[in-house]
Amino acid sequence: MSTARIHPSILSADFANLAGELRRIHTADAVHVDVMDNHFVPNLTLGKPVVEALQKASELPLDVHLMIEDVDRWAPEYAQVGVDSVTFHVEASSAPIRLARELRAAGAKSSMALRPATPIEPYLDMLGELDMLLLMTVEPGFGGQKFLDLVLPKIRRARAAIGGSGKPIALQVDGGISRDTILRAAEAGADVFVAGSAVYAAPEPSVEIDVLRNLALG
Protein backbone atom coordinates (compact mmCIF):
# COMPACT_ATOMS: atom_id res chain seq x y z
CA MET A 1 0.00 0.00 0.00
CA SER A 2 1.12 3.55 -0.56
CA THR A 3 -0.16 4.62 2.85
CA ALA A 4 -0.08 2.96 6.23
CA ARG A 5 -1.66 4.47 9.30
CA ILE A 6 -1.03 3.06 12.77
CA HIS A 7 -3.75 3.32 15.42
CA PRO A 8 -2.47 1.99 18.75
CA SER A 9 -5.16 0.46 20.97
CA ILE A 10 -5.21 1.79 24.50
CA LEU A 11 -6.76 -1.52 25.59
CA SER A 12 -3.17 -2.55 26.27
CA ALA A 13 -2.31 0.71 28.07
CA ASP A 14 -2.23 1.41 31.81
CA PHE A 15 -5.84 2.48 32.52
CA ALA A 16 -4.70 4.22 35.71
CA ASN A 17 -2.56 6.61 33.65
CA LEU A 18 -4.29 7.21 30.33
CA ALA A 19 -2.95 10.74 29.81
CA GLY A 20 0.61 9.49 30.19
CA GLU A 21 -0.13 6.53 27.93
CA LEU A 22 -1.33 8.92 25.20
CA ARG A 23 2.01 10.76 25.34
CA ARG A 24 3.88 7.49 24.78
CA ILE A 25 2.18 7.07 21.36
CA HIS A 26 2.59 10.60 20.00
CA THR A 27 3.89 9.27 16.67
CA ALA A 28 0.58 7.50 15.96
CA ASP A 29 -1.94 8.54 13.34
CA ALA A 30 -4.91 8.14 15.71
CA VAL A 31 -5.80 6.49 19.01
CA HIS A 32 -7.97 3.35 18.90
CA VAL A 33 -10.42 3.20 21.82
CA ASP A 34 -12.12 -0.15 22.47
CA VAL A 35 -15.55 0.15 24.08
CA MET A 36 -16.87 -3.22 25.34
CA ASP A 37 -20.11 -3.87 27.21
CA ASN A 38 -19.77 -7.45 28.51
CA HIS A 39 -22.64 -8.50 26.20
CA PHE A 40 -21.48 -8.21 22.60
CA VAL A 41 -18.09 -9.44 23.83
CA PRO A 42 -17.19 -11.13 27.15
CA ASN A 43 -15.20 -8.15 28.44
CA LEU A 44 -15.94 -4.74 29.91
CA THR A 45 -13.77 -1.69 29.32
CA LEU A 46 -14.97 1.89 29.28
CA GLY A 47 -17.86 4.04 28.10
CA LYS A 48 -18.81 7.53 27.05
CA PRO A 49 -17.49 9.48 30.07
CA VAL A 50 -13.99 8.10 29.50
CA VAL A 51 -14.23 8.72 25.74
CA GLU A 52 -15.20 12.33 26.50
CA ALA A 53 -12.18 12.69 28.80
CA LEU A 54 -9.87 11.17 26.19
CA GLN A 55 -11.29 13.49 23.53
CA LYS A 56 -10.27 16.47 25.68
CA ALA A 57 -6.87 15.06 26.61
CA SER A 58 -5.74 13.69 23.25
CA GLU A 59 -3.96 15.70 20.58
CA LEU A 60 -4.47 12.77 18.22
CA PRO A 61 -7.82 11.93 16.60
CA LEU A 62 -9.85 9.25 18.36
CA ASP A 63 -10.95 6.09 16.52
CA VAL A 64 -13.70 4.60 18.69
CA HIS A 65 -14.42 0.86 18.21
CA LEU A 66 -17.77 -0.06 19.72
CA MET A 67 -18.12 -3.71 20.71
CA ILE A 68 -21.56 -3.27 22.24
CA GLU A 69 -25.16 -4.41 21.81
CA ASP A 70 -27.91 -1.92 20.98
CA VAL A 71 -25.45 -0.04 18.83
CA ASP A 72 -28.15 1.68 16.73
CA ARG A 73 -29.10 3.51 19.89
CA TRP A 74 -25.67 4.27 21.37
CA ALA A 75 -23.28 4.87 18.47
CA PRO A 76 -24.63 8.33 17.50
CA GLU A 77 -23.97 9.50 21.07
CA TYR A 78 -20.29 8.66 20.66
CA ALA A 79 -20.23 10.58 17.37
CA GLN A 80 -21.60 13.63 19.17
CA VAL A 81 -18.57 13.62 21.49
CA GLY A 82 -16.57 14.92 18.53
CA VAL A 83 -14.35 11.91 17.94
CA ASP A 84 -12.89 11.40 14.48
CA SER A 85 -14.53 8.06 13.68
CA VAL A 86 -17.04 5.68 15.22
CA THR A 87 -16.97 1.98 14.31
CA PHE A 88 -20.00 -0.21 14.95
CA HIS A 89 -20.27 -3.97 14.47
CA VAL A 90 -22.68 -4.96 11.72
CA GLU A 91 -23.63 -8.04 13.77
CA ALA A 92 -25.01 -5.73 16.47
CA SER A 93 -26.92 -3.36 14.16
CA SER A 94 -30.38 -3.89 12.76
CA ALA A 95 -30.14 -0.85 10.44
CA PRO A 96 -26.49 -0.37 9.38
CA ILE A 97 -27.23 2.00 6.49
CA ARG A 98 -29.30 4.31 8.67
CA LEU A 99 -26.70 4.15 11.42
CA ALA A 100 -23.81 4.98 9.06
CA ARG A 101 -25.77 8.01 7.86
CA GLU A 102 -26.50 9.11 11.42
CA LEU A 103 -22.81 8.95 12.31
CA ARG A 104 -21.90 11.18 9.38
CA ALA A 105 -24.74 13.55 10.19
CA ALA A 106 -23.34 13.83 13.73
CA GLY A 107 -19.96 14.84 12.29
CA ALA A 108 -17.99 11.61 12.64
CA LYS A 109 -16.51 9.33 10.03
CA SER A 110 -18.71 6.26 9.70
CA SER A 111 -17.05 2.90 10.08
CA MET A 112 -18.41 -0.64 10.15
CA ALA A 113 -16.71 -3.72 11.61
CA LEU A 114 -17.06 -7.39 10.72
CA ARG A 115 -16.09 -10.28 12.99
CA PRO A 116 -13.72 -12.79 11.36
CA ALA A 117 -16.51 -15.18 10.32
CA THR A 118 -18.89 -12.50 9.01
CA PRO A 119 -18.90 -12.42 5.20
CA ILE A 120 -18.42 -9.14 3.41
CA GLU A 121 -20.47 -9.86 0.32
CA PRO A 122 -23.90 -8.88 1.76
CA TYR A 123 -22.54 -5.38 2.53
CA LEU A 124 -20.71 -4.48 -0.67
CA ASP A 125 -23.58 -2.34 -1.96
CA MET A 126 -23.40 -0.11 1.12
CA LEU A 127 -19.66 0.62 0.99
CA GLY A 128 -20.40 4.16 -0.16
CA GLU A 129 -22.02 4.87 3.22
CA LEU A 130 -18.71 4.19 4.97
CA ASP A 131 -15.49 6.11 5.49
CA MET A 132 -13.78 3.03 6.90
CA LEU A 133 -14.32 -0.72 6.97
CA LEU A 134 -12.82 -2.71 9.85
CA LEU A 135 -12.09 -6.37 9.29
CA MET A 136 -11.37 -8.04 12.64
CA THR A 137 -8.36 -10.34 12.48
CA VAL A 138 -9.16 -11.90 15.88
CA GLU A 139 -12.46 -12.57 17.61
CA PRO A 140 -13.18 -9.25 19.35
CA GLY A 141 -12.96 -9.02 23.12
CA PHE A 142 -9.33 -9.17 24.18
CA GLY A 143 -5.90 -7.92 23.27
CA GLY A 144 -2.94 -10.21 22.79
CA GLN A 145 -4.60 -12.81 20.57
CA LYS A 146 -3.07 -14.50 17.53
CA PHE A 147 -3.67 -12.99 14.07
CA LEU A 148 -6.11 -15.08 12.01
CA ASP A 149 -4.63 -15.67 8.57
CA LEU A 150 -7.99 -16.98 7.39
CA VAL A 151 -9.18 -13.34 7.16
CA LEU A 152 -6.58 -12.48 4.48
CA PRO A 153 -8.78 -13.50 1.50
CA LYS A 154 -11.59 -11.30 2.86
CA ILE A 155 -9.16 -8.37 3.12
CA ARG A 156 -8.24 -8.94 -0.54
CA ARG A 157 -11.90 -9.03 -1.61
CA ALA A 158 -12.64 -5.89 0.40
CA ARG A 159 -9.71 -4.04 -1.18
CA ALA A 160 -10.92 -5.01 -4.65
CA ALA A 161 -14.45 -3.83 -3.86
CA ILE A 162 -13.18 -0.53 -2.44
CA GLY A 163 -11.07 -0.03 -5.55
CA GLY A 164 -14.12 -0.71 -7.70
CA SER A 165 -16.21 1.77 -5.74
CA GLY A 166 -13.84 4.63 -6.54
CA LYS A 167 -14.37 5.98 -3.02
CA PRO A 168 -11.57 6.75 -0.52
CA ILE A 169 -12.68 4.15 2.03
CA ALA A 170 -10.04 3.15 4.57
CA LEU A 171 -9.55 -0.56 5.25
CA GLN A 172 -8.62 -1.23 8.87
CA VAL A 173 -7.45 -4.46 10.47
CA ASP A 174 -7.57 -5.07 14.23
CA GLY A 175 -6.17 -7.98 16.21
CA GLY A 176 -2.80 -9.66 16.37
CA ILE A 177 -1.02 -6.98 14.33
CA SER A 178 2.73 -7.10 15.04
CA ARG A 179 6.10 -6.97 13.31
CA ASP A 180 5.38 -10.56 12.19
CA THR A 181 1.93 -10.03 10.68
CA ILE A 182 1.59 -6.42 9.53
CA LEU A 183 3.11 -6.93 6.08
CA ARG A 184 0.74 -9.82 5.33
CA ALA A 185 -2.23 -7.63 6.18
CA ALA A 186 -0.81 -4.72 4.15
CA GLU A 187 -0.12 -6.88 1.11
CA ALA A 188 -3.71 -8.14 1.27
CA GLY A 189 -4.88 -4.51 1.08
CA ALA A 190 -5.25 -3.09 4.58
CA ASP A 191 -4.09 0.50 5.06
CA VAL A 192 -5.01 1.23 8.70
CA PHE A 193 -3.54 -0.99 11.40
CA VAL A 194 -4.65 -1.26 15.00
CA ALA A 195 -1.97 -2.59 17.33
CA GLY A 196 -2.39 -2.91 21.07
CA SER A 197 0.00 -5.31 22.72
CA ALA A 198 2.67 -4.92 20.02
CA VAL A 199 2.88 -1.17 20.70
CA TYR A 200 2.46 -1.03 24.47
CA ALA A 201 4.69 -4.03 25.20
CA ALA A 202 7.54 -2.36 23.31
CA PRO A 203 10.18 -0.49 25.32
CA GLU A 204 9.48 2.67 23.30
CA PRO A 205 5.92 2.63 21.95
CA SER A 206 6.47 5.75 19.83
CA VAL A 207 9.42 4.09 18.07
CA GLU A 208 7.53 0.81 17.62
CA ILE A 209 4.77 2.71 15.81
CA ASP A 210 7.32 3.96 13.25
CA VAL A 211 8.77 0.45 12.91
CA LEU A 212 5.33 -1.01 12.23
CA ARG A 213 4.44 1.73 9.73
CA ASN A 214 7.67 1.14 7.80
CA LEU A 215 7.12 -2.61 7.75
CA ALA A 216 3.60 -2.11 6.38
CA LEU A 217 4.96 0.06 3.59
CA GLY A 218 7.11 -2.93 2.57
Return binding residues for a divalent metal cation. Answer: 32, 34, 65, 174
Q: Give the C-alpha separation, 21 to 135, whole Å.
A: 26
Per partner kind, with CB cut-offs from 5 to 8 A, the member of Zn ion, ligand DX5, none near residue 176 is ligand DX5
Q: With respect to ligand DX5, which residue has the nearer C-beta, 77 or 180?
A: 180
Sheet with strand 85-89: strands edge to edge: 5-8, 192-195, 170-174, 132-136, 109-114, 85-89, 62-67, 31-36
Q: With respect to ligand DX5, which residue has the nearer C-beta, 91 or 124?
A: 91
Q: Give the C-alpha separation, 135 to 117, whole Å.
A: 10
Interface residues with Zn ion (CB under 5 A)? 34, 65, 174
Active site residues: 34, 174
Task: Please state the closest distance from residue 19 (CB atom) to Zn ion, in A.
Answer: 20
- Residues of this chain, 150-209, that bind ligand DX5 according to CB under 6 A: 174-177, 194-198
Task: Please state the closest distance from residue 49 (CB atom) to ligand DX5, in A.
Answer: 20
**Among 27, 80, 118, 145, interactor with ligand DX5 by CB under 6 A:** 145
Say whether residue 118 binds ligand DX5 (CB under 6 A).
no
Per partner kind, with CB cut-offs from 5 to 8 A, the member of Zn ion, ligand DX5, none near residue 172 is none
Are 57 and 18 in contact, with CB atoms under 8 Å apart? yes
* Cβ partners under 8 Å of residue 56, min gap 6: none
Q: With respect to ligand DX5, which residue has the nearer C-beta, 12 or 110?
A: 12
- Residues of this chain, 24-63, that bind ligand DX5 according to CB under 6 A: 32, 34
Long-range contacts of 77-84 (CB under 8 A, 24+ apart): 77/48, 78/35, 78/48, 78/51, 78/108, 79/103, 79/106, 79/107, 79/108, 80/106, 80/107, 81/48, 81/51, 81/52, 81/55, 82/55, 82/107, 83/33, 83/51, 83/55, 83/108, 84/30, 84/108, 84/109
Give whole-number Cα distances, 141 to 2, 113, 114, 209, in Å.
Answer: 30, 13, 13, 22
Closest residue by beta carbon to ligand DX5: 196
**Among 9, 85, 87, 110, interactor with ligand DX5 by CB under 6 A:** 9
Task: Please state the closest distance from residue 147 (CB atom) to ligand DX5, in A.
Answer: 8
Task: Please state the closest distance from residue 164 (CB atom) to ligand DX5, in A.
Answer: 28
**Contacting positions for ligand DX5 (CB under 6 A):** 9, 11-12, 32, 34, 65, 138, 140-145, 174-177, 194-198
